[in-house]
Amino acid sequence: MHEQTEGANHIRFESSAVGSMRFRDIVAFATGAAIAHRLRAGLTALGIGIGVAAVVLLTSIGEGLHQFVLTEFTQFGTNLIAVTPGKMETFGAPMGGAFGTVRPLSLDDAEALTRVSGVKATVPMVQGNAAVKGGGRQRRTSVYGVGSNFPDVFSFGVASGEFLPPDDPRTPRALAVLGRTLRDELFGLANPLGARIRIGGDRYRVIGIMESKGNMLGVDLDDAVYIPAARSLALFNRESLFEIDVLYDEAASVDEVKAGIHRLMMARHGGEDFTLTAQEQMLDVLGSILNVVTFAVGALGGISLLVGGVGIFTIMTIAVRERMSEIGLLGAVGAQRKQIQWLFLGESVVLAGLGGLLGLVIGGGGIELLGLLMPALPVTLSLQYVLFAEGIAILIGLVAGVLPAINAARLDPLEALRAE
Amino acid sequence: MKASRPARQLYVISSTESLSDRAIAETSKPIIELKGLRREFQVGDELVHALNGIDLQITAGEYVSIMGPSGSGKSTLLYILGLLDVPTAGGYRLAGVNTAQMNDDERASARQRDIGFIFQSFHLVPRMSAAENVELPMTLAGVAPDERRERVKQALEGVALADRAGHRPDQLSGGQRQRVAIARAIVTQPKVLLADEPTGNLDTASGDEVLHIMEALNQQGLTLIVVTHDPDVGERAGRHIGLHDGDVASDRVTGAGE
Ligand SMILES: Nc1ncnc2c1ncn2[C@@H]1O[C@H](COP(=O)(O)OP(=O)(O)OP(=O)(O)O)[C@@H](O)[C@H]1O
Ligand SMILES: [Mg+2]
């Protein structure tokens, strides 16, 4: 209140300051101005809305893809280290040739590796394609030469019968375990346990059926047959294993286990002619690549947000020009420059905020639609993104509105009044 | 001319309601004091002397008309009085306060408290209803919404437009628009009402109504200063100031408007 307060009905100003307009009144003023130009305001907001929708949709898809890929790659467990023949730079080509010979990765190596501290089990692995005959039919399928520890190491068990027994790795019996698809193709509904099949030239007895793993990145994991590694080496006429997979204790440190494996392999091979790849570290790399992808597509959507911001800037610049006499009047009835600035800034924030909401509706709808079209992809609209998108929209409104608002506040009220 | 209409009764704002106590208490004190007031404009190479050293005192509650040929400085003087323009030289005291030291914000707050403006072209905000236009100065001042509503109602009743509160300017006649502008000017209970050609855009009848309202407010103690071309309008005041080339050429009190 100012000076004379004796008059009971004298007007009461908010505190003694003038620039104390209520927040709600600023919003009402800004909204009123936007409503007065419905179409224009709507289109401007739509510009931001499309940007927000693009960011929300693209980042959600990126994030969904990320989760999808990670679940695919972790379904066999994460405490795995693969030993492969040949020295490979982190992601480069195999070296070796230049540095003497590459000694083959042997079944003895696989056995020796079980003695490394922290290692729980190892599985030798030889993979190839071959024709499998059985149940009166024939099918070309993936043949995995593995060890008896395979189900433990890859957390991938049998559905019926049993897995390959722990025979002497050098002279295993001719036993085979079928994948679900191969079983269906060869035997249909008949029980294949105990049946004889031929792989290449050799005869095998079926002792188990693996549980179904479905597809991974388009490959049918169930279209396979599992036989002892030594027999697979002979079948494909190979000297070296494809790889040895090492399962280590969760409590052990990857780096220590890796160092142990490294020492042992160096001792056995007399040189570094092998490569160690930890699943965990691979997942880290994969994860960061996918994060970059998510960020990149998000940035792509950000470009349309930028365009929306330019739209707001343009409209606000026009609004200031058009409403000169209104600005002059605000000054004449006592608005301070800062207040005029806030009023116009409020207007661009209201436009952007509306656009943000519009974008969330469009983006949310898009995500719903995507969920219906591609149920496998785990795309969800997280609250975090919603708040982030709305926050970004409002920030854009502030940034785009600052210059027009400053220009409005800079006008001399008297000149603004005369401009008509 | 239908000057004999009993319009006056219609617009009298009951004296218990506003202004009067304060304004009457201040009567006979000078509300406006000008000393050697000059205003020059640099236009290209030329220096235009819009006001050439004006000395003037206006007492609280006076009804003053300012007349003079086009370009004589009437509007310039009025805007300086209303703190929308600043003099190049000279002193201006408003209600005893020296305005020379005021910065932008202080002038804005003095306009908000002490000055009401009426323009020839009304200057209503087109998207706002009559009530919202009247409310605007209080909204800017951060007055509580309840009090605003009450004051808007009173002010619109005072200009006989209570039934048009929800109408936008484009739904009102010129005379009605100017009455809304008056309601807006007085709703903050200013000390001085400044009008630049308030009837310039109106026909005689609605111009007359507008003048009646302002005169009724003056009778309650509000200082009223009207710039006009129209001798009929000018003659209604109690004091007549004639400007010529930026100088006070005549200053005549007839007392008719007290
Ligand atoms: N912003 C300005 N820039 C330059 N010259 C100005 C400006 N404002 C007023 N003037 C000059 O000052 C003088 C007085 O102008 P003012 O508007 O006060 O006249 P007026 O008496 O109101 O005239 P009218 O009756 O036509 O409204 C004129 O010569 C005008 O050209
Ligand atoms: Mg003029």
Q: Could you please report the per-residue DSSP string of A213-263?
A: --EETTEETTSEEEEEHHHHHHHTT-SS-SEEEEEE-TTS-HHHHHHHHHH
Name residues of chain B where pLDDT drops below 70.
1-28, 256-258
Q: Tell me, what's the pLDDT at A3?
A: 40
For residue B139, list chain A residues with Cβ-Cβ distance below 8 A.
21-22, 25, 29
Nearest Cα residue in chain B from A22: B142
Percent of chain B past pLDDT 70, that is, above it, reads 88
Out of B40, B41, B197, B245, mutate this one to test ligand 1's pocket (max ligand atoms within 8 Å of CB): namely B41
Answer yes or no: pTM beyond 0.80.
no
Nearest Cα residue in chain A from B17: A9
Q: What is the ipTM of this complex?
A: 0.88
Which ligand minimizes its atom distance to the CA of B52? 1
Q: What is the pLDDT of residues B65-108, one digit of tens each?
A: 999 999 999 999 999 999 999 999 999 999 999 999 999 999 99
Residues B75 and B198: beta-carbon distance below 8 Å:
no
Atom of ligand 1 at shortest range from CA of A418: 1
Q: Tell me, what's the pLDDT at A11?
A: 55
Q: Tell me, what's the pLDDT at A380?
A: 73
Q: Do A339 and B136 touch (CB under 8 A)?
A: no
Nearest to A32 among B79, B127, B189 (CB): B127
Residue A139, beta-bridge partner list: A132
How many CB pairs below 8 A link A and B?
Answer: 109
Asked if A40 is an interface residue toward chain B (Cβ–Cβ < 8 A), one would say no
Residue-wise pLDDT tens for chain A (420 aa)? 344 433 335 555 544 333 578 899 999 999 999 999 999 999 999 999 998 898 888 888 888 888 888 887 777 778 889 999 887 655 545 554 445 567 889 999 999 999 999 999 999 999 999 999 988 899 999 999 999 999 988 888 899 999 999 999 889 999 999 999 999 999 988 899 999 999 988 999 999 999 988 877 778 889 999 999 999 999 999 989 999 999 999 888 889 999 999 999 999 988 888 888 888 888 888 888 888 888 888 888 888 888 999 999 999 999 999 999 999 999 999 999 999 999 999 999 999 999 999 998 998 898 888 888 887 777 777 778 778 888 989 999 999 999 999 999 999 999 999 886
For residue B121, list chain A residues with Cβ-Cβ distance below 8 A.
420
Q: Tell me, what's the pLDDT at A61?
A: 84
Q: Do A333 and B184 touch (CB under 8 A)?
A: yes
Task: Go through chain B and tell me how many residues it has.
Answer: 258
Per domain, the residue ranges of chain B are 14-253
Q: Do A33 and B127 touch (CB under 8 A)?
A: yes
Q: Do A19 and B139 touch (CB under 8 A)?
A: no
Q: Tell me, what's the pLDDT at A103?
A: 83
Alpha-carbon distances of B255 from A191, B224, B237, B239, rounded to whole Å: 123, 14, 8, 7
Q: How far B234 CA sits from the closest chain A CA (Å)? A: 24
Q: How far apart are CA B169 and CA B122, in angstroms?
A: 10
Atom of ligand 1 at shortest range from CA of B227: 22
The CATH number of the domain covering residues in B14-253: 3.40.50.300
Residues A242 and A147: beta-carbon distance below 8 Å:
no
For residue B123, list chain A residues with Cβ-Cβ distance below 8 A.
325, 328-329, 332, 417
Which ligand minimizes its atom distance to the CA of B73? 1
Single-letter amino acid, residue A197: I
Nearest to B84 among A21, A326, A414 (CB): A414
Per domain, the residue ranges of chain A are 2-71+286-418, 102-272
Dihedral sign for Cα atoms in the order B141, B147, B148, B154: negative
Question: What does the DSSP assignment read for A139-198?
Answer: EEEEEEEE-TTHHHHTT--EEEE-------TTS---EEEE-HHHHHHHHTTS--TT-EEE
Alpha carbon of B78 to ligand 1 centroid (Å) = 11
Q: Is the CB of B71 under 6 A from ligand 1?
A: yes
